[in-house]
């Protein structure tokens, strides 16, 4: 089949939707990247855990003079979070034995330290609720901090940039892989932003996606449904072809010039650029190069996609910002961010 891959460059209504009540936000904590970087110049060991949708990782970080060295990194891959709890129980025992403070990045919805909702981790959520009331503080007595992965990601990225001498007034962070998550640091506050779950404008829906938003109470097709890999691109590919392919395979097809994969990823990159400009305008990011946007997640392993996001961002009318891909900062900015927040939270 042939696909028309001419997309509109600028859909002003999509950017404007970020100024409306459709955008849900949550102020999580104060964060000063310079202060965090100063603490990372001391000497300290902490444990960091990154709980993602298809894998959980833990590592001990030996922090010294502004370098974060990882030791004993372990990863468990699973479906639905099966085995996550046993992995976390072993990590908790190790943290106690070694007297380590713990920072956790959790790709779940949280109320304080309690997991309140998860899309991808039903097995973990059920077990964790039964045994610990889904409360990380009951499992980790030396827990310093637990945050959503967009918060650990943005704080980790900002601290690593500060260690390189790169300071920004405002920072935005987008995690685009199986789903789409976002955060900003604005006026020294780290804010979780539901940038994915706003209505998608028809101009950015060339294949007529009809799968609705996964978040309760939102009865429309949201931006995530064309932007994220699993929730959007894989879903649309299946609708068009009847074949199930994952984001890694589709990313390779995109790089090889497959027309459908190209349309899917080019649409995603364009929608993501609109979301980024919408969020930055909502928070009044400076026009004059004092702000940065950091992109993280599986989609950015595709070089063609990184180039498309950059091209679209430059072309859209928005603030002049520095574009950073987290893979250029470190191996896993959410895990690093959990370590940064463990240290930053412990010494006020
Ligand atoms: Zn949604």
Return left, alpha or beta for 267; rule: phi > 0 is left, psi -120 to 50 is alpha, else beta: alpha
Ligand 1 center from residue 103 Cα (angstroms): 28
Q: Is 255 in the same domain as 117? A: no
Ligand 1 center from residue 204 Cα (angstroms): 15
Q: Is 281 in the same domain as 341? A: no
Instruction: Tell me if 226 is assigned to some domain.
Output: yes
Average pLDDT of the segment spanning 46-56: 93
Instruction: Tell me if 2 is assigned to some domain.
Output: no
- pLDDT above 90: residue 318: no
Question: What is the pLDDT at residue 321?
Answer: 93
Rg (CA), the chain: 20
Question: What is the pLDDT at residue 136?
Answer: 97
Instruction: Tell me if 5 is assigned to some domain.
Output: no
Q: What angle do CA 338, 339, 343 make, to 5 degrees?
A: 115
Q: Is 195 in the same domain as 237? A: yes
Q: Which residues of 46-74 are buried (b: 16+ CB within 10 A; e: fewer)?
A: bbbbbbbbbebbbbbbebeebebebeeee
Ligand 1 center from residue 271 Cα (angstroms): 13
Q: Is 65 in the same domain as 134? A: yes
Task: Yes or no: say if 264 and 7 are a contact pair by the CB < 8 Å rule.
Answer: no
Question: What is the pLDDT at residue 97?
Answer: 95
Question: Among 62-66, 155-159, 261-265, which stretch is predicted with the lowest mean pLDDT?
Answer: 62-66
Average pLDDT of the segment spanning 57-71: 94
| pLDDT tens digit sequence for 241-259 | 999 999 999 999 999 999 9
Ligand 1 center from residue 202 Cα (angstroms): 15
Ligand 1 center from residue 290 Cα (angstroms): 30
CATH number assigned to the domain comprising residue 115: 3.30.420.40
| pLDDT bucket at 301, cuts 50 / 70 / 90 | very high
Ligand 1 center from residue 149 Cα (angstroms): 17
Q: Is 171 in the same domain as 142? A: no
Instruction: Tell me if 312 is assigned to some domain.
Output: yes
SS3 label, residue 248: helix
Average pLDDT of the segment spanning 298-316: 97
Q: Is 147 in the same domain as 177? A: no
Q: Is 71 in the same domain as 181? A: no
Question: Among 155-164, 196-205, 279-288, which stretch is predicted with the lowest mean pLDDT?
Answer: 279-288
Question: What is the pLDDT at residue 1?
Answer: 67
- pLDDT above 80: residue 296: yes
Q: Is 246 in the same domain as 282? A: yes
Ligand 1 center from residue 289 Cα (angstroms): 31
Ligand 1 center from residue 212 Cα (angstroms): 7
Ligand 1 center from residue 62 Cα (angstroms): 38
Q: Which of 220, 214, 161, 170 shows the shortest CA–CA distance to 190?
A: 170
Ligand 1 center from residue 195 Cα (angstroms): 9
Domain carrying residue 95 = 29-155+332-346
Q: Which of 263, 231, 257 shows the shortest CA–CA distance to 246?
A: 231
Q: Is 98 in the same domain as 111? A: yes
Instruction: Tell me if 148 is assigned to some domain.
Output: yes
Ligand 1 center from residue 206 Cα (angstroms): 18
Ligand 1 center from residue 78 Cα (angstroms): 24
Percent of residues, the chain, with pLDDT higher than 90: 86
101: which DSSP letter?
Answer: E
| pLDDT bucket at 348, cuts 50 / 70 / 90 | very low
| pLDDT tens digit sequence for 87-145 | 999 999 999 999 999 999 999 989 999 999 888 899 999 999 999 999 999 999 878 89
Q: Is 240 in the same domain as 115? A: no
Question: What is the pLDDT at residue 347?
Answer: 52
Question: What is the pLDDT at residue 143?
Answer: 85
Ligand 1 center from residue 214 Cα (angstroms): 5
Bridge-partner residues for 46, per DSSP? 61, 101
Instruction: Tell me if 6 is assigned to some domain.
Output: no
pTM exceeds 0.85, yes or no: yes
Instruction: Tell me if 7 is assigned to some domain.
Output: no
User: What's the mean per-residue pLDDT of the chain?
Assistant: 94
Question: What is the pLDDT at residue 201?
Answer: 97
Average pLDDT of the segment spanning 52-68: 93
Ligand 1 center from residue 176 Cα (angstroms): 13
Average pLDDT of the segment spanning 261-284: 97
Q: Is 185 in the same domain as 135? A: no
- pLDDT above 60: residue 276: yes
- Say how far apart CA 202 and CA 212 lie, in whole Å: 14
Ligand 1 center from residue 224 Cα (angstroms): 6
Q: What's the total number of domains in the chain? A: 2
Q: CB neighbours (10 Å) of residue 112?
A: 9
Q: Is 177 in the same domain as 104? A: no
Average pLDDT of the segment spanning 178-188: 94
Instruction: Tell me if 4 is assigned to some domain.
Output: no
């Amino acid at each position: 089949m042939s696909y028309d891959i001419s997309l509109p460059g600028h859909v002003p209504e999509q950017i404007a939707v970020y100024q409306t009540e459709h955008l849900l936000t949550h102020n999580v904590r104060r964060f000063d990247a310079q202060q965090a970087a100063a603490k990372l110049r001391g000497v300290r060991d902490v444990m960091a855990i990154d709980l993602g949708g298809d894998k959980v990782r833990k590592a001990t970080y030996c922090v010294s003079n502004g370098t974060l060295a990882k030791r004993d990194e372990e990863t468990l891959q699973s479906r639905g979070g099966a085995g996550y709890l046993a992995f976390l129980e072993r990590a908790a025992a190790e943290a106690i034995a070694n007297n380590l403070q713990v920072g956790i990045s959790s790709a779940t919805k949280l109320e304080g330290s309690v997991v309140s909702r998860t899309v991808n981790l039903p097995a973990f959520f059920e077990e964790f609720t039964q045994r610990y009331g889904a409360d990380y503080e009951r499992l980790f007595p030396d827990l310093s901090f637990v945050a959503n992965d967009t918060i650990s990601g943005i704080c980790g990225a900002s601290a690593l940039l500060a260690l390189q001498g790169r300071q920004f007034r405002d920072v935005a962070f987008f995690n685009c892989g199986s789903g789409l998550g976002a955060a900003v640091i604005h006026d020294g506050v780290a804010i979780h932003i539901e940038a994915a779950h706003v209505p998608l404008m028809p101009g950015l829906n060339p294949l007529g996606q009809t799968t609705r938003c996964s978040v309760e109470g939102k009865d429309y097709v949201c931006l995530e449904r064309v932007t994220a890999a699993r929730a959007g691109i894989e879903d649309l590919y299946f609708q068009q072809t009847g074949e199930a392919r994952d984001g890694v395979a589709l990313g390779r097809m995109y790089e090889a010039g497959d027309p459908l994969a190209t349309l899917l990823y080019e649409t995603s990159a364009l929608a993501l650029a609109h979301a980024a400009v919408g969020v930055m305008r909502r928070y009044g990011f400076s026009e004059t190069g004092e702000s940065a946007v950091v992109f993280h997640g599986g989609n950015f392993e595709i070089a063609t996609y990184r180039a498309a996001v950059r091209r679209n961002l430059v072309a859209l009318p928005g603030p002049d910002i520095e574009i950073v891909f987290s893979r250029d900062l470190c191996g896993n900015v959410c895990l690093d961010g959990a370590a940064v927040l463990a240290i930053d939270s412990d010494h006020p």
